[in-house]
Chains A and B, each alone.
Chain A
Amino acid sequence: MKMQIKNGRLSPYTKNSIISYGLVIGAFVIVSILNSMGMVSSSLQGQLVPICCYIVMAVSLNLVVGISGELSLGHAGFMSAGAYTGIVVSGILETSGLPIYGRLAVAIICGAIVAGVLGFLIGIPVLRLRGDYLAIVTLAFGEIIKNIMNIVYAGKDSHGFHLKTNPDLGLEEGGRMLLNGPMGATQVQRISTFAAGFVLVLITLFVVQNIMNSKQGRAIMACRDNRIAAESIGLNVMKYKLMAFTVSAALAGMGGALFGLNYSTLLPVKFNFNTSVLILVFVVLGGLGNIWGSIIAATILTILPEALRQFADYRMLAYAIVLILVMIFTYSPKIKNFTQGFIDKNFKRKKPTAQTEGGGQV
Chain B
Amino acid sequence: MKSSFAKKFLVVCLAMVMVFTFAACGGSSEGGESEGGDAAGAVLKIGSSGPLTGGASIYGTAVKQGAEIAVAEINEANPDLQIEFKMEDDEADGEKAVNAYNKLKDWGIQMMMGTVTTGSCIATSAVTFEDRVFELTPSASSADVTAGKDNVFQVCFTDPNQGVKAADYITENMAGSKVGVIYNNSDAYSTGIFNAFKAEMEAKGGEIVAAETYPDDTNADYSAQLNSCKSAGADVVLLPIYYTPASVIMKQAKDMNYAPVFFGVDGMDGILDMEGFDTALAEGVMLMTPFNPWSTDENVASFVEKYQAAYNEVPNQFAADGYDGIYALYEAFKATGLGTDAANADICDAMIGQFTGGFSYDGLTGAAMTWNDKGEVNKTPVVCVIQDGIYVDQ
- A interface list, Cβ under 8 A from B: 12, 15-16, 19-20, 23, 26-27, 30-31, 34, 39-47, 50, 147, 150-151, 167, 180-184, 186-187, 190, 263-270, 292, 296, 299-300, 303, 305-307, 309, 312-313, 315-316, 340, 343-344, 346-347, 349, 351, 353-354
> In chain B, what residue has the closest Cβ to A150?
B186
Q: Measured between C-beta atoms, what is the minimum distance from A302 to chain B in Å?
A: 9
Query: Which of these, A44, A181, A316, A351, contacts B22 with CB under 8 Å?
Result: A44
Q: Are A296 and B15 in contact (CB under 8 A)?
A: yes
Give the distance in Å from the alpha carbon of A277 to the alpha carbon of B208 in the complex. 42
Query: Which of these, B10, B16, B98, B144, contacts A186 with CB under 8 Å?
Result: B144
- 21 CB-based A-B contacts, threshold 8 Å: A19-B5, A19-B8, A23-B11, A23-B15, A41-B22, A41-B102, A42-B102, A44-B23, A147-B186, A180-B188, A182-B186, A183-B188, A187-B144, A190-B126, A263-B126, A264-B126, A265-B144, A267-B94, A268-B186, A270-B93, A343-B10
Give the distance in Å from the alpha carbon of A292 to the alpha carbon of B8 in the complex. 8
Chain B hits for A27, CB < 8 A: 15-16, 19
Chain B hits for A265, CB < 8 A: 94, 119, 122-123, 126, 144
- Which of the 9-residue segments B24-32, B230-238, B325-333 touches chain A? B24-32
Q: Are A12 and B185 in contact (CB under 8 A)?
A: no
Q: Measured between C-beta atoms, what is the minimum distance from B188 to chain A in Å?
A: 4
Q: Are A147 and B215 in contact (CB under 8 A)?
A: yes
CB within 8 Å of A: which B1-20 residues = 1-12, 14-16, 18-19
Interface membership of chain B positions 115-131, coded 1 if the CB is closer than 8 angstroms to chain A and 0 otherwise: 00001001101110000
19 additional contacts, CB 8 Å, given A41-B27, A43-B103?
Answer: A20-B8, A23-B8, A39-B26, A41-B102, A46-B98, A150-B186, A180-B188, A182-B185, A182-B186, A184-B188, A265-B122, A265-B126, A267-B94, A268-B186, A269-B186, A299-B15, A307-B25, A309-B100, A344-B3
* Interchain residue pairs A-B with the least CB separation, the first 10: A41-B26, A264-B126, A347-B6, A265-B122, A46-B102, A183-B188, A42-B105, A186-B144, A42-B102, A150-B186
Q: Measured between C-beta atoms, what is the minimum distance from A266 to chain B in Å?
A: 7
CB within 8 Å of A: which B90-149 residues = 93-96, 98-103, 105-106, 119, 122-123, 125-127, 142, 144, 147-148
Give the distance in Å from the alpha carbon of A26 to the alpha carbon of B8 in the complex. 13
Indicate if B82 sits at the interface (CB-CB under 8 A).
no
Give the distance in Å from the alpha carbon of A320 to the alpha carbon of B229 in the complex. 46
Q: Are A47 and B99 in contact (CB under 8 A)?
A: yes
Indicate if B88 sits at the interface (CB-CB under 8 A).
yes
How many of B's residues come within 8 Å of A, CB to CB? 59
Query: Which of these, B25, B95, B142, contacts A263 with CB under 8 Å?
Result: B95
Chain B hits for A34, CB < 8 A: 19, 23
Give the distance in Å from the alpha carbon of A333 to the alpha carbon of B103 in the complex. 38
Indicate if B53 sits at the interface (CB-CB under 8 A).
yes
Indicate if B187 sits at the interface (CB-CB under 8 A).
yes
Indicate if B195 sits at the interface (CB-CB under 8 A).
yes
Chain B hits for A151, CB < 8 A: 185
Q: Are B22 and A309 in contact (CB under 8 A)?
A: no
Main secondary structure of the interface of B (DSSP, over half): helix
Q: Measured between C-beta atoms, what is the minimum distance from B325 to chain A in Å?
A: 21
Give the distance in Å from the alpha carbon of A191 to the alpha carbon of B96 in the complex. 19
Give the distance in Å from the alpha carbon of A181 to the alpha carbon of B9 in the complex. 48
Give the distance in Å from the alpha carbon of A344 to the alpha carbon of B5 in the complex. 12
Chain A hits for B147, CB < 8 A: 186-187
Q: Are A182 and B29 in contact (CB under 8 A)?
A: no
Give the distance in Å from the alpha carbon of A100 to the alpha carbon of B329 in the complex. 37
Q: Are B187 and A182 in contact (CB under 8 A)?
A: yes
Q: Measured between C-beta atoms, what is the minimum distance from A312 to chain B in Å?
A: 8
Q: Measured between C-beta atoms, what is the minimum distance from A217 to chain B in Å?
A: 15
Knowing A265-B144, A296-B15, say if A306 contacts B99 (CB, 8 Å).
yes
Q: Measured between C-beta atoms, what is the minimum distance from B301 to chain A in Å?
A: 30
Indicate if B192 sits at the interface (CB-CB under 8 A).
yes
Chain B hits for A263, CB < 8 A: 94-95, 98, 123, 126
Q: Measured between C-beta atoms, what is the minimum distance from A191 to chain B in Å?
A: 12
Q: Measured between C-beta atoms, what is the minimum distance from B110 to chain A in Å?
A: 14
Q: Measured between C-beta atoms, what is the minimum distance from B123 to chain A in Å?
A: 5
Chain A hits for B3, CB < 8 A: 340, 343-344, 347, 349
Q: Are B6 and A343 in contact (CB under 8 A)?
A: yes
Q: Are A353 and B144 in contact (CB under 8 A)?
A: no
Give the distance in Å from the alpha carbon of A81 to the alpha carbon of B331 in the complex. 46
Knowing A151-B185, A265-B123, say if A45 contacts B2 (CB, 8 Å).
no
Q: Are B95 and A50 in contact (CB under 8 A)?
A: yes
Give the distance in Å from the alpha carbon of A309 to the alpha carbon of B185 in the complex. 34
Indicate if B52 sits at the interface (CB-CB under 8 A).
yes
> In chain B, what residue has the closest Cβ to A352?
B2
Indicate if B317 sits at the interface (CB-CB under 8 A).
no
Q: Measured between C-beta atoms, what is the minimum distance from A25 to chain B in Å?
A: 12
Query: Which of these, B19, B88, B98, B119, contacts A309 with CB under 8 Å?
Result: B88
Q: Measured between C-beta atoms, what is the minimum distance from A197 to chain B in Å?
A: 14
> In chain B, what residue has the closest Cβ to A313?
B52
Chain A hits for B5, CB < 8 A: 15, 19, 347
Q: Measured between C-beta atoms, what is the minimum distance from B181 to chain A in Å?
A: 15
Knowing A265-B123, A313-B52, say if A26 contacts B2 (CB, 8 Å).
no
Q: Measured between C-beta atoms, what is the minimum distance from B154 to chain A in Å?
A: 15
Which of A40, A264, A269, A303 has the most chain B CB within a 10 Å cutoff? A264
Give the distance in Å from the alpha carbon of A328 to the alpha carbon of B142 in the complex. 45
